[in-house]
Amino acid sequence: MRIRHPKDFLTGVMFVFFGAAAMALSSGLTIGGAAKMGPGYFPLVLGGFMVVLGSVILLRGIAGAQGSPGWPILQLKPVAIILVAVVLFSQILKPLGLLLSTAVLVVLASRASHEFRWKEALLNAAALTAIVLVVFVYFLDFQMPVWPSFLSGRL
Amino acid sequence: MELLSNLALGFQTAVTPMNLLYCLVGALIGTLIGVLPGIGPVQTIAILLPTTFALPPVSALIMLAGIYYGAQYGGSTTSILVNVPGEASSVVTCLDGHQMARQGRAGAALTISALGSFAAGSFATLVLAVLAVPLSELAFQFGPAEYFSLMVFGLIGSVVLASGSMLKAVGMIVLGLLLGMIGTDVTSGAHRFTFGIPELADGVGFVSLAMGLFGICDIINSLEKRETRDILKSKLTGLWLKKEDLRMAAPAVLRGTLCGSLLGILPGGGAIISSFTAYMIEKKCARDPERFGQGDIRGVAAPESANNAAAQTSFVPLLTLGIPPNVILAMMAGAMMIHGIQPGPRVITSNPALFWGVIVSMWLGNVILVVLNLPLVGIWVRLLSVPYRLLYPAILVFCCIGLYSVNNNTFDIGLTALCGLLGYVFHKLECEPAPLILGFVLGPMLEENLRRGMLLSRGDPSVFFTRPLSLVFLVLAAGMLIAVALPAIRRGRERAFKEDYTNV
């Protein structure tokens, strides 16, 4: 069997998955009746609708006449680096403080570009860290840890 | 004259130095991101939402609105000078605008797009002011059944007018509705889909979802494309229009304005669809359609007027009925709710200064844009030479710091990364994220009205069909679906969207 429109097929799979998950999760909640709907009623109905809709898209993806051809092409480098940089920022913000975290975020995220150059990325990081210090810390007065926690006692 | 006293109140609010400043800042940021391809008003509003928390609600809304219509001005500049649409709504402006620039008439093209936008913006402000009071009074007669049907109508409208597969768009709406249910159920207090995570008890943050799907995801997509921009230097000479140009362009501006004002109000409408429609109308009306695409001034005047008019009239359904007609207005709705204002008919009576202040600020913003934009064109174009590899880390830094400041926790940053991943998957599967955001914003209201309506009718769903206004909305919604399903119209729709893509 050949899948004619892989992107539609995968969309269908995704919708069926989300729909089934919604149905499974809402079955643990009070469902209630049409006149007095519980918290689980509407999500259960939507989940069921989504499973049906996803199945239609899935089947049309296998055999339908029209749709988007070709498997999706993934490039793992940009998506992985950007997401890791963002998650890393969230993890080091409290222990290392805003300024160091910003520098790490900029340098790491810059590596996602195919035009990456060390010198440029470091300069950019320095400039952005300075801007962050002026704009967010002094001007907008955001309440966040600025310096690394091991230094904050002394500064 | 109630209208005059209302507008006077609006002026009092909008002309305070601080609000003027935020209007200027919004218009400038809007122009800036309008000029830069790859960053649109949706992403910018998503990124800047947290920074507006510190402002009073009026100033915040004035600034965010300025970003939206400012982007319509800025987008045309790059379309004309560089043949790169800075905004999706300026794609058609490239066709004739850039041809005009090649013939040495860049100045005339820029001037007519600024003047046309200004005329359209002024008219649209008036439309908003005139329609607001009667529409919001109508909305007061709405019960839960009417609201439910109106929202269904709005959601279906956004599907019909969206490009790409309709089935996928419906699925994205439902997914948005489901995501909107994460958190504490208002009626029963039960936690839904929270997986025991305390941060999710308040639901998925609107900022996290919007920033992940638009801000972060767009950065990843741009990096994959490895785009490098070339800048075509075209000389700017003479901003003045010839009499002949003016005679040709004036009716086009008028038609574009009317078309944009109308399409902006309809659900699913907005700046993008109206600029395409205005261009098509102009081509159909012309006695010499073969001149379009070769630098006809009408091909610049009509779409540029239309997109600006639509950007402003699309505030009508949000401010009077509480229904955002497109994704940018859904962002505005999110911003209002964050500031504790429920968009809807009550805004006019409970917050008249805010309502009329925002409307008047739109007109003032248009004045600012005309005065600023024409002399500053050179600077805007030079901004295009900032390489993307320096720009995107800065955007990421803004996103992350803004996200932390929403609730002072790092959980939101991680959640945004997850939403970014989800957005990436959607992009790869060619699923538009815009309907999802609309579903997410409308979801809680939709469910509440459904539950209230069914409770009042004791479980009898016929209440949605027996109340006349509710029936009208449902019939309109069904009519739109049937119309799109008809083979003839479907082919036309597909052709229209295909044209969009080949022109990009």
CA distance B288 to A108: 55
Please indicate, yes or no, whether residues A102 and A81 belong to a single structural domain of this protein. Answer: yes
Q: Any CB–CB contact under 8 A between A29 and chain B?
A: yes
Question: Which of residues A117 and B268 earns the better pLDDT score?
Answer: A117
Look at chain B and report how many structural domains it folds into.
1
Q: Per DSSP, what are the bridge partners of residue B183?
A: B192
Helix (H, G, I), strand (E, B) or coil at B183: strand
The tokens describing A138, both together, are 């002094």
Q: Any CB–CB contact under 8 A between A66 and chain B?
A: no
Please indicate, yes or no, whether residues A95 and A43 belong to a single structural domain of this protein. Answer: no
Q: Any CB–CB contact under 8 A between A37 and chain B?
A: yes
Please indicate, yes or no, whether residues A80 and A59 belong to a single structural domain of this protein. Answer: no
| A87: closest CA of chain B, how far (Å) | 5
Of the candidates B360, B361, B367, B362, the residue with the CA atom closest to the CA atom of residue B4: B360
The tokens describing B11, both together, are 């002026």
Please indicate, yes or no, whether residues A11 and A52 belong to a single structural domain of this protein. Answer: yes
CA distance B271 to B73: 11
CA distance B325 to B331: 11
Q: Give yes or no for a contact between B257 and B119, defined as CB atoms under 8 angstroms apart.
A: yes
| A152: closest CA of chain B, how far (Å) | 19
Q: Can you list the pairs that B197-201 forms with residues at least 24 positions away whose Cβ atoms lie under 8 Å?
A: B199/B407, B199/B409, B199/B411, B199/B412, B199/B415
Please indicate, yes or no, whether residues A92 and A44 belong to a single structural domain of this protein. Answer: no
Interchain proximity A10–B429, CB inside 8 Å:
yes
Nearest-CA residue of chain B relative to A90? B410
Secondary structure of B426-476 in HEC code, one letter for each residue: HHHCCCCCHHHHHHHHHHHHHHHHHHHHHHHCCCCCCHHHHCHHHHHHHHH
Question: Which of residues B187 and A89 earns the better pLDDT score?
Answer: A89
Q: Which domain holds residue A19?
A: 6-63
Q: Is residue A70 part of a domain?
A: no
CA distance B418 to B415: 5
Please indicate, yes or no, whether residues A82 and A147 belong to a single structural domain of this protein. Answer: yes
Q: What is the DSSP letter of B267?
A: T
Confidence (pLDDT) at B230: 47
The tokens describing B16, both together, are 């305070």
Q: Give yes or no for a contact between B318 and B332, defined as CB atoms under 8 angstroms apart.
A: yes
Q: Which residue in the block uniquely carries the two structure tokens 């989504």?
A: A50
pLDDT over threshold 60, residue A88: yes
Of the candidates B204, B179, B423, B172, the residue with the CA atom closest to the CA atom of residue A82: B423
Interchain proximity A115–B396, CB inside 8 Å:
no
Q: Is residue A1 part of a domain?
A: no
Give me the mean pLDDT over the A58-68 stretch: 79
Q: Is residue A136 part of a domain?
A: yes
Nearest-CA residue of chain B relative to A131? B394
Interchain proximity A113–B223, CB inside 8 Å:
yes
| A134: closest CA of chain B, how far (Å) | 13
The enclosing H or E element of B19 equals: helix B17-35
CA distance A64 to B262: 36
Q: Give yes or no for a contact between B159 and B435, defined as CB atoms under 8 angstroms apart.
A: yes
Confidence (pLDDT) at B500: 45
CA distance B455 to A34: 8
Of the candidates B269, B206, B150, the residue with the CA atom closest to the CA atom of residue B441: B206
Please indicate, yes or no, whether residues A103 and A148 belong to a single structural domain of this protein. Answer: yes
A38, A41, A128 member nearest B397 (Cβ): A128
Q: What is the DSSP letter of B240?
A: P
DSSP string, B195-228: TT-GGGGG-S-HHHHHIIIIIIHHHHHHHHHT--
Neighbours of B457 (CB within 10 A): 18
Going by C-beta distance under 8 Å and a sequence separation of 6 or more, which residues neighbour residue A149? Answer: A94, A95, A96, A97
Q: Give yes or no for a contact between B320 and B348, defined as CB atoms under 8 angstroms apart.
A: yes
A67, A121, A132 member nearest B401 (Cβ): A132
Burial of A133 (0-12, 13-18, 19+ CB in 10 A): middle
Confidence (pLDDT) at B502: 39
Mutate which of B151, B159, B166, B168 to disrupt the A interface (most A C-beta within 10 Å)?
A: B168
How far is C-alpha B328 from the chain's CA centre?
A: 3
Of the candidates A71, A104, A107, the residue with the CA atom closest to the CA atom of residue A88: A104
B178, B417, B454 member nearest A37 (Cβ): B454
Interchain proximity A86–B397, CB inside 8 Å:
no
CA distance A124 to A113: 14
Q: Give yes or no for a contact between B69 and B365, defined as CB atoms under 8 angstroms apart.
A: yes
The count of CB pairs under 8 A between chains A and B is 181
Neighbours of B106 (CB within 10 A): 23
CA distance B95 to B109: 12
What are the chain A neighbours of B213 within 8 Å (beta carbons)? none
Over chain B (504 residues), what is each successive 10-residue block's mean pLDDT?
83 89 90 76 81 85 89 80 73 83 83 89 89 84 87 82 78 94 85 87 86 87 71 57 83 92 78 82 82 85 90 87 84 86 86 88 88 76 76 88 83 93 93 86 87 88 88 89 71 55 38
Q: Any CB–CB contact under 8 A between A47 and chain B?
A: yes
Interchain proximity B392–A109, CB inside 8 Å:
yes
Q: Which domain holds residue B333?
A: 2-503
CA distance A133 to A120: 20
Query: Residue B403 half-sphere exposure, CB side, CA atoms within 13 Å?
Result: 32
Please indicate, yes or no, whether residues A51 and A99 belong to a single structural domain of this protein. Answer: no
Interchain proximity A30–B190, CB inside 8 Å:
yes
Q: What is the DSSP letter of B241?
A: P
The tokens describing B361, both together, are 């600020």
CA distance A106 to A129: 9
Look at chain A and report how many structural domains it folds into.
2
CA distance B327 to B341: 18
| B439: closest CA of chain A, how far (Å) | 12
Please indicate, yes or no, whether residues A84 and A111 belong to a single structural domain of this protein. Answer: yes
Give residues 99 to 118 of A whose Cβ lies within 8 Å of B.
Answer: 102, 105-106, 109-110, 112-116
pLDDT over threshold 60, residue A155: no
Going by pLDDT thresholds of 50, 70 and 90, the confidence category of residue A80 is very high
Helix axes B388-407, A76-96, angle to 10 degrees: 50
